[in-house]
Structure 1
């Protein structure tokens, strides 16, 4: 905005003309439209200064040019297009056939009879598509608190991420007022903030909050894209997550509400990370709707296969892929990131399918211009940047290959934890012959920070274990409780006949599928086993070197009824249920205890890789990390490569003066194991049990101190933590 109107610029490099369309709804529901021809193109950009345009003005673009789908050209001025840089949007997609750029053969797009797109559709789409809205960003920033001013800047070593959905986290919270539930405003409500701070998380990672649209097949099933990975606008907040009062007041108020929520979380010392989806848009495949980028500059924005007829090249599994070989696409993403960092004040970003963002003409490149931009942009300096290091294109798995300062989701951690505590134990429980997956070797590597993945670089080991974002569950897949309750996915409600969602879950139902009959005496026994398995997984996650990420509700056993792909379930299946049974309250206290251990003991929050080298302070000096078997003897080469080895002791030290040594003892066997506590001959400290997955609480006062080498009995399929403080 300018003092007397607006300055407009839009990329449409193949167009012959572009109109800015100023939209005013009439009382009878019709739309009045004033068209302003733009000047240009200047290097593909059409532009103008338009006076007498005020905040709240609805607008869109109409683009004139060639309609030649075989060449990738999809210009159709009958289609009103959303501004890719719009700061606000109103309205939703109405799945009328007119929103397709071509003449569709049914009542909605996506149902062509053949491979060739038909002629351009002449019907006006304006009544059936969202509209861009002018937002007075500068004015809002001038009159409201700046959420950048109170950023917590939590060090990576102290970071604990909590992945949550704006709507799902608070829709059922009993202490949040009804009118605030499921909104940005609820994120900053004292009841929600208190839960987060008492739990011990330091960063909330929000599923996408960019403006979104639903897919046509979901609309046909009366479902919605609940997760939000279907972006309509990379600058506009999703309006449906705002309160009714903010929506009625307009996009300025929606933006103010999310800024206020970020500011409130900052006041509590909690950072806000956004899950951002720059790899694709909501326009789908070749036969999808014409809502924005497709009608503006289809061949510049989207990755194509280079053939004639032109076809979209899909590395995302969604039908389209934004082409990060194009400078304007890179610019769009960086401009969007700067906006959310500078205006909304968020503290970082998680990049969905980030390999797509680093694809050039020859495939993925760690020094891709977009990734270089992330490293060098002043607005993004000191923010937390996290890559989902894969996509579905060729060579799409790239875990550990992104440049600093990016951290990465570590799927190898997820798989190792599930394999050791669930899949392998299930095999043993069923008495299946043959060795386990690979004993303790892979799990130990993940416990120590995954140096095999994140230790490469120049100089080596520079990224540290904090580059590994460790997780056992995420929004995509089973919840922690469902991992121990179901062998198979149960996605019937999604309307895809069970075809959706991964079948490779490494889960274990512990004896029967689902929750079982509470009247059956066996149900209580199975429930106890499941609870212990959840505690084993949580302890592995929260005590490992690296950056842990919890999924909202896992701290107290949230279930999705076995649905491992609840992307379209905007209801109780996906919402966090805060009505906790006694066992759930016990699990919550157990999770809090684990996070307190992590927070209080520097040996559990190292931001440099363990090197196995001596540390000063002990007599004699001992390494920062050492491994022991059940007999208390150092692990040998044969131990590491024995798939039947299921017991491990991990001894972690730190150079921090006055800090405790930490001993994590794991028994992945079904039977109890006699264990000689590690440290005999190399420390004069005594061990005291601090936490056990059998009880799940901190109970140091209830257990006597143990000398190194002293023998204890470790329950089957359990984990115990011991602390050794300096002698006073």
Structure 2
């Protein structure tokens, strides 16, 4: 097919393929290439019908303009340059490359040896050069005009202290729903039944597992498995093709618009710390072929990759053009796709400077903090990786929030009955001040979680002592070894009523702890419905019923209790304060905001906290001094966390004219409120919550 197009001088300012109404401008970064070729493909036949050298170079940006080209045009790139792996260069023009700024992809690579830049099986391994054309096995980049009629779309901008986050997988949430069209897609996620379900539950934001285009690793493909979670990003601007029912990016935009109309925010889990190309033995799909030495951190022997992520490679955020790509991607998802925030996978990697340790003043953090767009959205860090100084819980600069794994582990251990956990639980209940109370950070910086996609789901935390990952094909060696779980007598499913009741009680205790803690709560989708993964705590490769939420086994009682807790938290601002609470330390106006009580009504002493057998703690919370949303009608909440036997517990003396009202008892999930004074019988292994109310109400 003869091309009717001609290429001319373009503009270097906007990278990627940009449609301006008359044609398309192409611009791509490569510092070390010697020639950059644009390849055009026929959308129907898939045949390459023309090639154009990008004629202009401004610094390290190659660019050109083709008049008359329209959205929907398929294209790819081929980069010429040195093939010199020992010095970090792996150019191979036989390999068709994805545009890093592509806004849509036609699909995924088809695994074939031609995708490798080197000859598989060659005695020189990755030092050899493979001449085969990879185009037959590569998806195409697609020119897109991302304009969308947003109408009156308004982001909810829910304040962080009012947020309840719901971590969900696009496919897993809806794959087994019988009341939605196109299950497993963006459209299904935002269908009427799902919006009704989420708003009724009371969550305020849905945190999507990776929804940018991603790859299924070759070793998984060989096993007949899939990269289900999506932490192998292929395109930082393109939505995942598997989640689009009709292959159009406006399906993602429609999802966001519908979420916003329901008052729900959309937070994206993003993976900028590495790419899907792996180490030197991985495929050449985009970044490696465009400029390996610029996009990746390399070892002293530049043939090899720095692997702070455990995935084979690490993105070189020190390079200003790589940092620019990340920033451009983030701004694109906010400004063009209207998302409300991001959760950054292995965020410690992005703060590692010059291949050294973590620096909270790294360029990545500074760039976001000064950005007028990105500094205003929700930013959540996964505060660890496997590199030097990789575990950085509490070290990130504001306005970042952080996943708090110490919260998860402490809550699990306390309710499992481990000795010595009560002091740690007290710290977690009050926002993990030891980690977060510095640099002006609010208590909401701690994202509190019981579970997440990685690890046991809540049902399995109370049903399994051991992980059961055999289906992953790694001989059960993968996944966390320390889960702090407890099967309560039987490994896995059981029909023993007593064990089932004890498991249900343990789940209510843990969910109540989550919703009664200072900080920002996050639920894993399906936990509220009693979903199980049959003991698999690393279901990253299970795109099947193991990972999909089983709505047929829905637990209505636990769902109702979770819903009640979320509403209780919403109705009682004392539970979601931004300022840290410290007993007897904040007395600007003469009011104290935190008390710790013993069951006998005496205040906790140092020797009480050091008792390894301490398993019952009670706290009285008041609004912090100067809190703008302080309500005089709610002066205090009294909460008892008892992981031991039943014990008589004395309530604090109520304020004159007020009375304690017993609102929540995890042993009685459907209880009605009870006015209480003096001493109550605190049930064993339970959480009880009391509020102050008018004694004559």
What do the CA deviations read for 1:329-351 (whole angstroms, capped 9, x no partner)? 11111000000000110000000
Assess if the C-alpha contact under 8 Å between 2:163 and 2:205 holds in 1. Answer: yes
Partner of 1:585: 556
**C-alpha separation in 1, matches of 2:129 and 2:268:** 38
> Which residues of 2 match residues 352-501 of structure 1 at below 5 A?
352-361=345-354, 362-422=356-416, 424=418, 436=419, 438-457=420-439, 462-501=440-479
Within 1, Cα distance between the matches of 2:606 and 2:278? 52
Q: Could you tell me how far apart the structure 2 residues matched to 1:644 and 1:196 are?
A: 40
| Structure 2 counterpart of 1:607, from 544, 565, 578 | 578
State yes or no: 1:281 paired with 2:299.
no
Between the aligned partners of 2:158 and 2:632, the Cα distance in structure 1 is 22
Name the structure 1 match of 2:523. 550
Judged with a 3 Å threshold, the aligned counterparts in structure 2 of structure 1 residues 712 and 681 are, in CA distance, closer, same or farther, namely: closer
In 1, the alpha carbon distance for the partners of 2:383 and 2:553 equals: 35
How is 1:54-453 mapped onto 2 (pairs within 5 angstroms)?
A: 54-105=70-121, 116-137=125-146, 140-141=147-148, 144-145=149-150, 149-177=153-181, 180-243=182-245, 246-247=246-247, 254-307=248-301, 310-361=303-354, 362-422=356-416, 424=418, 436=419, 438-453=420-435
For residue 627 of structure 2, what is the aligned residue in structure 1?
none
In structure 2, C-alpha distance between the alignment counterparts of 1:398 and 1:648, rounded to whole Å: 29
Determine helix, strand or coil for the equivalent of 1:46.
strand
Q: 1:531 aligns with which of 497, 504, 514?
A: 504
Secondary structure of residue in 2 paired with 1:409:
strand
Partner of 2:22: 4
Structure 2 residue 40 is matched with structure 1 residue 19:
no
Q: In 2, Cα distance between the equivalents of 1:176 and 1:660?
A: 45
Determine helix, strand or coil for the equivalent of 1:208. coil
CA 1:617/1:601 → structure 2, altered by over 3 Å: closer, same or farther?
A: farther
Q: Is the 8 A contact 1:632 1:680 kept in 2?
A: no
Give the C-alpha shift of residue 40 in structure 1: 4.5
CA distance in 1 between partners of 2:130 and 2:421 (Å): 61
Name structure 1 gaps, 5 residues minimum: 106-111, 248-253, 425-435
Q: Tell me, in whole angstroms, the C-alpha distance in 1 between the residues paired with 2:192 and 2:372.
A: 33
Tell me the TM-score normalised to structure 1 length: 0.90
TM-score computed with the length of structure 2 as normaliser? 0.94
Unaligned runs of 5+ in 2: 1-18, 624-629
Do the aligned partners of 2:410 and 2:421 also contact (CA within 8 Å) in 1?
no
Offset of residue 42 of structure 1: 2.6
Change (3 A) 1:33 1:69: farther
Find the aligned partners of 2:603 and 2:655 in 1 and give their Cα distance.
11
Contact 1:410–1:471, Cα closer than 8 Å, also in 2:
yes
Query: How many Å separate the matches in 1 of 2:262 and 2:588?
Result: 36
Q: Once the two structures are superposed, what CA deviation does each residue of 1:567-602 show, in whole Å capped at 9, x if it has no partner?
A: 111111111122245xx1000110011111101111
Give 1:569-580 correspondences, 5 Å limit. 569-580=542-553
Aligned partners of 1:282, 1:15: CA distance in 2, in Å? Answer: 21
Alpha-carbon separation, structure 2, partners of 1:57 and 1:573: 39
- Residue pair 2:634, 2:691 contacting (<8 A) in 1 also: no
Query: What residue in structure 2 maps to residue 674 of structure 1?
Result: 648
Matched with 1:504 is 482
d(CA) in 2 for partners of 1:134, 1:575: 33
How far the C-alpha of 1:478 sits from its partner, in A, is 0.4
Work out which of the residue numbers 604, 612, 618 in structure 2 matches 1:643.
612
Q: Give yes or no for the alignment of 1:706 onto 2:676.
A: yes
